[in-house]
């Protein structure tokens, strides 16, 4: 199967090979995929290297790469809300949280693309201050179903993107992320960075957020926001209405 890398700032992944099809996820600039099916009109079905999510993309958002680059580790990430790069000499703006396979050099090559970094890249590492800082860079970002960037993000895309800048790999969807980590028994025992999961009336986990402490959570609901949380769930800080019912709390570090 051909290997490819995302060469646009944000690439939509769709449920079917059509622009009007539901966007189910995204890949960010620099993220690698395998092409599993080649469809018509420039559509390809891809499997994401990072979280194994599958969807349809347009081939002009990708560049075919060698297996050596595909297998290389992600070593850096873009740390600003918007980051300047040059692709074959042309300017491009890419979002926070793009994982990059590179060295500490200012240039690299992806297939036929010469990449030049104009902003300092950081290495993913775990620290509480970094987690809070990354999470708050998303504050007031609009909720977007399938979104994974500061341009628009869903609840699990938010948690996944923040955690990958810390070197912690989360799966794509909230119910999948809830299968990872270890259980925290009581809200009063949480620490910064624990994830809280919420279910619907059918008992299915449909929402996730990052706990700041035992009474506040930052999450993507309408927009990325900070709301109060108690043992029952989330209360909207602006309306006072309870919006999400707490199901489980998990810890990842």
Given the structure tokens 């179903």, which residue do they identify?
145
How many helices (H) and strands (E) the chain has is answered by: 4, 23
pTM (2 decimals)?
Answer: 0.96
**Confidence label for 206 from pLDDT (cuts 50, 70 and 90):** very high
Q: Is the pLDDT of residue 102 over 80?
A: no
Q: Compute the average pLDDT of residues 163-171.
A: 96
Q: Compute the average pLDDT of residues 169-190.
A: 97
Asked whether the beta carbons of 97 and 83 are under 8 A apart, the reply is no
Q: What is the pLDDT of residue 16?
A: 98
Which of 74-78, 125-129, 134-138, 214-218 is predicted with the least confidence, judged by mean pLDDT? 125-129
Query: What are 218's two structure tokens?
Result: 């930052």
DSSP structural state of residue 229: B
Query: Mean pLDDT, the chain, as a whole number?
Result: 96
Q: What is the pLDDT of residue 1?
A: 72
Q: What is the pLDDT of residue 116?
A: 95
Asked whether the beta carbons of 71 and 61 are under 8 A apart, the reply is no
- Give the span between the Cα atoms of 108 and 65, in whole angstroms: 13
**Confidence label for 105 from pLDDT (cuts 50, 70 and 90):** confident
Query: What are 204's two structure tokens?
Result: 């299915």
**Which domains are present in the chain?**
3-122 (2.30.30.40), 128-251 (3.90.1720.10)
Given the structure tokens 């043992």, which residue do they identify?
231
Nearest to 168 by CA among 186, 150, 195: 195
pLDDT tens-digit series, residues 122-134: 999 888 888 999 9
Q: Compute the average pLDDT of residues 174-184.
A: 98
Q: What is the pLDDT of residue 128?
A: 83
**Confidence label for 177 from pLDDT (cuts 50, 70 and 90):** very high
Q: Compute the average pLDDT of residues 58-62.
A: 97
Q: What is the pLDDT of residue 130?
A: 87
- Type and span of the H or E element at 84: strand 82-87
Q: What is the pLDDT of residue 127?
A: 84
- Give the span between the Cα atoms of 227 and 210, in whole angstroms: 11
More confident residue, 22 or 120: 22
- Give the span between the Cα atoms of 251 and 253, in whole angstroms: 6
Q: What is the pLDDT of residue 145?
A: 98
């Amino acid at each position: 199967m051909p290997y490819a890398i995302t060469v646009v700032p944000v690439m939509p992944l769709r449920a079917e090979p059509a622009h009007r099809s539901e966007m189910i996820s995204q890949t960010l600039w620099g993220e690698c995929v395998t092409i599993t099916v080649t469809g018509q009109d420039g559509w390809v079905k891809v499997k994401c290297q990072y979280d194994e999510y599958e969807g349809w993309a347009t081939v002009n958002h990708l560049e075919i790469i060698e297996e050596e680059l595909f297998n290389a580790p992600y070593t850096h990430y873009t740390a600003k809300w918007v980051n300047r790069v040059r692709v074959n000499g042309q300017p491009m703006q890419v979002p926070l949280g793009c994982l990059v396979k590179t060295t500490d050099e200012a240039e690299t090559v992806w297939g036929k693309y010469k990449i030049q970094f104009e902003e300092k890249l950081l290495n993913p590492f775990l620290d509480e201050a970094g987690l809070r800082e990354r999470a708050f860079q998303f504050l007031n970002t609009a909720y977007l179903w399938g979104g994974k960037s500061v341009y628009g993000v869903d609840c699990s895309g938010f948690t996944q993107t923040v955690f990958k800048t810390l070197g912690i790999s989360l799966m794509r969807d909230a119910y999948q992320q809830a299968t990872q980590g270890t259980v925290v028994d009581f809200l009063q025992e949480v620490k910064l960075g624990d994830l809280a999961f919420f279910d619907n009336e059918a008992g299915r986990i449909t929402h996730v957020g990052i706990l700041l402490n035992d009474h506040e959570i930052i999450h993507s609901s309408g927009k990325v926001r900070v709301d109060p949380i108690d043992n029952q769930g989330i209360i909207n800080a602006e309306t006072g209405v309870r919006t999400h019912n707490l199901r489980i709390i998990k810890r990842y570090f």
